[in-house]
Amino acid sequence: MNIKDATVLVTGGNRGLGKELVQKFLDAGARKVYVGSRTPIETSDPRLQPIKLDVTNEEDVKAAAEVARDVNILINNAGIASFASVLTAPSMQRAHEEMETNYFGTLAMIRAFAPILKKNGGGAIVDILSVLSWFTTPLTAAYSASKAAALQLTESARIELRSQGTQVIAVHLGYMDTDMAADINAPKVSPAAVADKIIEGIINEQEEVLADQRSQHVKAALASDKKAFYQTIQAEWNKTEQPV
Ligand SMILES: NC(=O)c1ccc[n+]([C@@H]2O[C@H](COP(=O)([O-])OP(=O)(O)OC[C@H]3O[C@@H](n4cnc5c(N)ncnc54)[C@H](OP(=O)(O)O)[C@@H]3O)[C@@H](O)[C@H]2O)c1
């Protein structure tokens, strides 16, 4: 679909990938971008509409859907990640929070905006997932569970919304150079490169965007030999210091 003259809503649009996407949509000719964030951004750009939007807050989601009635591209980008074992974390609170934000937040946004997209001709929903929606490690189990749930939601929404002409895109990537992965010492893709792939995916009407080399490699490795893939993860885990 066309980006030119589109009206876009980006959740978590204040920093990281969300902020990059906001700029890339403007560069690609979007007419208006609603920048959803827990603390509304300040801007003098008339094409940007800041909107207070915590995706875990029902009232915020409802209010956003009342205001942003002209949206035809919804980007579910807001996300959180913790890197800790779900078995030994002091409580399950963080695991609940990840599910609330990454899965239920995305679900709430799709439920609220699907009728708006329908009214506006179909449009597109882009869900920012991860390679960790396909596999997990002990330190990412809660995040992976939430992204795997979001992947299933993406697939079911695609089937359900096809008849109203809504394109539903799953975006996968490995580590990206944002605050979320600041403490990770590994190769990272730039948010700008990921945003470019997403825009390309919307224009080319793709159902899946593999936004970096890591996502392409992981997808191929899991398809060919999942057992060997997990043996590598097990070997890495065995090298770490574990609680006795
Ligand atoms: N960075 C990576 O390595 C990586 C890899 C794969 C996938 N991803 C995914 O890419 C997406 C963007 O992440 P990022 O790397 O840009 O992370 P980031 O720099 O940590 O930014 C996260 C964004 O999500 C927002 N957010 C968190 N909880 C929210 C909520 N309840 N309601 C609304 N906004 C909320 C944050 O807002 P505040 O400023 O208010 O906190 C922030 O704008 C996420 O879905 C993430 O899971 C990231």
CATH number of the domain within which 106 lies: 3.40.50.720
Phi, psi torsion values for 170, nearest 5 degrees: -95, 125
Cβ-proximal residues to 171 (8 Å cutoff; 6+ apart), any chain: 126, 127, 128, 129, 194, 197, 198, 201, 208, 209, 211
The ranges of the chain with pLDDT < 50 are 244
Residue 24 lies in a domain: yes
Residue 2 lies in a domain: no
Cβ-proximal residues to 221 (8 Å cutoff; 6+ apart), any chain: 228, 229
Cβ-proximal residues to 9 (8 Å cutoff; 6+ apart), any chain: 33, 34, 36, 51, 64, 68, 71, 73, 74, 75, 113
Is residue 147 flagged as an active site residue?
A: yes
Ligand 1 site: residues with CB under 6 angstroms?
A: 11-12, 14-18, 37-38, 53-56, 77-81, 101, 105, 128, 130, 173, 175-176, 178-181
Per-residue pLDDT at 241: 78
* pLDDT tens-place string over residues 87-97: 999 999 999 99
Is residue 219 flagged as an active site residue?
A: no
Residue 244 lies in a domain: no
The mean of the pLDDT values for the chain is: 97
Residue 48 lies in a domain: yes
Per-residue pLDDT at 242: 72
Of all protein residues, the one whose alpha carbon is nearest to atom 36 of ligand 1 is 12
Per-residue pLDDT at 160: 97
Report d(CA 220, CA 162) in Å as an integer: 27
Residue 130 lies in a domain: yes
Catalytic one of 24, 103, 143, 197: 143
168 in Cβ contact with 124 (< 8 Å): yes
Residue 86 lies in a domain: yes
Per-residue pLDDT at 243: 59
Number of domains in the chain: 1
* pLDDT tens-place string over residues 126-184: 999 999 999 999 999 999 999 999 999 999 999 999 999 999 999 999 999 999 999 99
Per-residue pLDDT at 232: 93
Residue 78 lies in a domain: yes
Q: Could you tell me how many residues make up the chain?
A: 244
Residue 1 lies in a domain: no
Structural domain span for residue 134: 7-239
